[in-house]
Structure 1
Amino acid sequence: MKRQVTAGLMLACTTLLGAFTLSAEARTLRYAIGHPPSSFVVDVAKEYAGAVESLSDGDLKVRVFPMSLLNFAETSGGVRDGMADIGFVLTSYFASEFPHSNVAVEASMLVGLLGDKVRGREGMVFMGALSEYTFFNCPECNREFARQGQVYTGSTGGSSYGLVCNRPVESEADLRGMRLRVGASNWSRWAEAVGASPVTMSANEMFEALSQGVVGCIVLAAPEIHNFGLTDVVKHITMDVPGGPMPIAGTNINTRTWKSLSPAQRTVMLRAASVFSAGVPWIYHQHEDRILSEAEDRGVTLHKADAALIEKTHAFVEQDMATIAEDYRRRYGVQNGAELITTFRALLDKWAGLVQDVDSEEALADLYWSEIFSKVDVNQHGL
């Protein structure tokens, strides 16, 4: 997938090049991402690599290793230990290592309470808010990354999660007793709240679990049907619940690698990270309707959740904010969870307004850059 570099990106490139001393040979950074090569996320990772090379005039390059160098469960430790220079880190997989970070990550279902004004833009709103929150409003988050030998350079993630199933779901009664594969604790609690049983398993096991009836549904974003090769086993889809995207620290950099870069090179990595942070939610939202339409053409039935299930889900989300704060206080010693969630909710409202006029991936990347990434002090951050 090829896209033109934005005018803003080219301007940043021109500005940054004057700060470089050309090297005889480009330095190549290894980027580990747990998605399969055919994934939309890998397409965006290649754009990120291209942005790094363009912005640095070839002084820096990124080699993308999809699903080969490190899997999702190995990525955090692998970046820490220098097996990769950059990693796609799902902090939700590592609750004890990133508790302050995960307070906001687990609050992802909040975006569903913003209503129609963010429909089809949930990921764009959430990733802007989460990046701003982590860079500038959560020093504890950055200390957590530092303890794991990583430097945070932005969050990303796709569209909101729904129910990808082998049986129809429209009401709470349909969910009662059903086993649901979930990928994060907030969806696990929602499953229990509606009478279902949450099941944790690796992404590699989803196809077999759904095809053999081990689970009735997978809580998943629609484009992941393509990314994880689930096309042939999905028979029913309900996207109204539970809602919320899966946020990721998409381009965390090994601390030693980050410190070895010049300030101009760190700026390049942040500018490229803004491209990546924007690219994933944009491509997911662009493909969401197509994936659902193609599924319907194959005979998959698309369902609407009834009003009672949606109302119960919204009530659960409000109640779950207190649960998250107390759970992280009790288990991980996070004393300011309620305050962090309040701060984050205000940023969600802010970003719900900021993305309203965004009409392209390039415009979203430029917005992220101007509002967030360009304000990071490369002489202080991660050092």
Structure 2
Amino acid sequence: MKRLVIVALAMLSGVAALSVEARTLRYAIGHPPSSFVVDVAKQYAESVSELTEGDLKVRVFPMSLLNFAETSGGLRDGMADIGFVLTSYFPAEFPHSNVAVESSMLLGLLGDKVRGKEGMVFMGALSEFTFFHCPECNQEFAKQNQVYTGSTGGSSYGLVCNRPVESAADLSGMRLRVGAANWSRWTEAVGASPVTMSANEMYEALSQGVVGCIVLASPEIHNFGLADVVTDINMDVPGGPMPVAGTNINADTWKSLSPQQRTRMLRAASAFTAGIPWIYHQHEDRILSEAEQRGVKIHHADPDLVAKTNAFIEKDMDFIATDYEKRYNVSRGQEMIADFRELLEKWAGLVQSVDSEQQLADLYWNEIFSKVDVSKHGL
């Protein structure tokens, strides 16, 4: 009998161990399965498993469990444990977060020192800003039952078109598909008309001439299968990436993790934060070169359009602060933008010597993510 009890206890211990090892977190991401973003999400899943020695696993659900518009609410309600949250889709829920997000075109004012590194600069600055300089941002996530674990995004946005664009005159009266409010305002400032639509509708809209251009990062041509309908590209304007809270975690899920597991999740998140801008910048030139080989014309903005864009950026910073105060009671918008501009300058310097994805991930970890207090953050 004693032996049977020992065997039974051993079996129960094995079941308990298996249940811990088998815990799988559901990660909802709105991108198509073939996208570069999903490739990085799969690397993130592998990192979580390796860093937690199999205690936690992540199952990636690309464009299936929740789409972009559903992700924030679905994550809040526990339909997913981790979500790729585009805060720009939800201005009322995340107004403080979006003050920094909407200032992404500030990168254009930093000139050549950030060219080809825009995403790396911006995601470092935004992650540091949100973790340590914006308590209101974290409170907004908490109200949505989410815990912030870093921002990520790709390379700068330009004009992916079905006709040539080099000047403001070319843009006059044209309809542009935009995915964020700052690009919508720029569109109007240069005499064009902004159009909002789902990313899944971009192919049809461009192919049928519903829009003349889509404001988009060049690697998204691959991610959303637009190669067959793009005839002209100009990546000089408007500029700025589309940042997201890429690995937000359901607050109940986060609280159920041990402090060590939270630290490991942040370590994986730092690699994810680095992975997307890195892969986008690596593919940026290739995508444009391949497009040119297919007969797509690559254009450049004339000096007048560049000057108009730069003037718009400076003016728009004041607008963002005033608008968010008026609409969402964000009282310190000017202070936040000034603080964020300093962080952009800081990160423009920090990434200059980075020449590998691992170096970028280590930089993010050492400068930002390792400094998060997991005994307090999100609790």
Q: Determine the structure 1 residue equivalent to 2:17.
A: 23
The correspondence for 2:297, drawn from 294, 301, 304, is 301
For 1:171 and 1:326, how far apart are their aligned partners in 2? Answer: 29
The correspondence for 2:336, drawn from 336, 340, 346, is 340
- Aligned partner of residue 78 in structure 1, secondary structure: helix
From the two aligned structures, give the one with the greater helix fraction: 2
For 1:181 and 1:293, how far apart are their aligned partners in 2? Answer: 23
Q: Determine the structure 2 residue equivalent to 1:209.
A: 205
Partner amino acid for 1:252?
A: N
8 A Cα contact 1:191 1:198, kept in partner: yes
For 1:42 and 1:373, how far apart are their aligned partners in 2? Answer: 22
Deviations 1:135-168 (A, max 9, x none): 0000000000000000000000000000000000
For 2:24 and 2:194, how far apart are their aligned partners in 1? Answer: 41
8 A Cα contact 1:180 1:199, kept in partner: yes
Q: Determine the structure 1 residue equivalent to 2:55.
A: 59
Report deviation, 1:298: 0.2
For 2:187 and 2:18, how far apart are their aligned partners in 1? Answer: 56
Deviations 1:151-192 (A, max 9, x none): 000000000000000000000000000000000000000000
For 2:48 and 2:141, how far apart are their aligned partners in 1? Answer: 22
- Aligned partner of residue 120 in structure 1, secondary structure: coil
1:113 aligns with 2:109: yes
The correspondence for 1:325, drawn from 301, 321, 341, is 321
Q: Determine the structure 2 residue equivalent to 1:96.
A: 92
TM-score normalised to the size of structure 2?
0.95
Q: Determine the structure 2 residue equivalent to 1:254.
A: 250
The structure 1 segments of at least 4 consecutive aligned residues displaced by more than 6 Å after TM superposition are none
Q: Determine the structure 2 residue equivalent to 1:15.
A: none
- Aligned partner of residue 356 in structure 1, secondary structure: helix
The correspondence for 1:237, drawn from 229, 233, 236, is 233
Partner amino acid for 1:119?
A: R
Report deviation, 1:24: 2.5
Report deviation, 1:349: 0.2
For 2:271 and 2:49, how far apart are their aligned partners in 1? Answer: 13
The correspondence for 2:368, drawn from 366, 372, 375, is 372
Q: Determine the structure 1 residue equivalent to 2:188.
A: 192
Deviations 1:80-99 (A, max 9, x none): 00000000000000000000
8 A Cα contact 1:23 1:59, kept in partner: no
Partner amino acid for 2:317?
A: M
Report deviation, 1:266: 0.2
Deviations 1:329-356 (A, max 9, x none): 0000001000000000000000000000
For 2:153 and 2:180, how far apart are their aligned partners in 1? Answer: 14
8 A Cα contact 1:51 1:272, kept in partner: yes
Larger Rg: 2
Partner amino acid for 1:116?
A: D
- The percentage of aligned residue pairs carrying the same residue is 80
The total of aligned residue pairs comes to: 362
Partner amino acid for 1:361?
A: E
Q: Determine the structure 2 residue equivalent to 1:6.
A: none
For 2:192 and 2:351, how far apart are their aligned partners in 1? Answer: 35
Superposed, 1:124-143 pairs within 5 Å as 124-143=120-139
Q: Which runs of 5+ in 2 are unaligned?
A: 1-15
Partner amino acid for 1:23?
A: A
Report deviation, 1:376: 0.1
The correspondence for 2:32, drawn from 31, 36, 43, is 36
For 2:145 and 2:173, how far apart are their aligned partners in 1? Answer: 42
The correspondence for 1:316, drawn from 288, 297, 312, is 312
For 2:153 and 2:297, how far apart are their aligned partners in 1? Answer: 26
Partner amino acid for 1:294?
A: E
Report deviation, 1:23: 3.3
Q: Determine the structure 1 residue equivalent to 2:263.
A: 267
The correspondence for 1:165, drawn from 161, 181, 189, is 161
How much is the aligned-residue C-alpha RMSD, in angstroms? 0.6
Deviations 1:287-335 (A, max 9, x none): 0000000000000000010011001101100000000000000000001
For 1:117 and 1:124, how far apart are their aligned partners in 2? Answer: 12
For 1:312 and 1:99, how far apart are their aligned partners in 2? Answer: 27
Report deviation, 1:229: 0.4
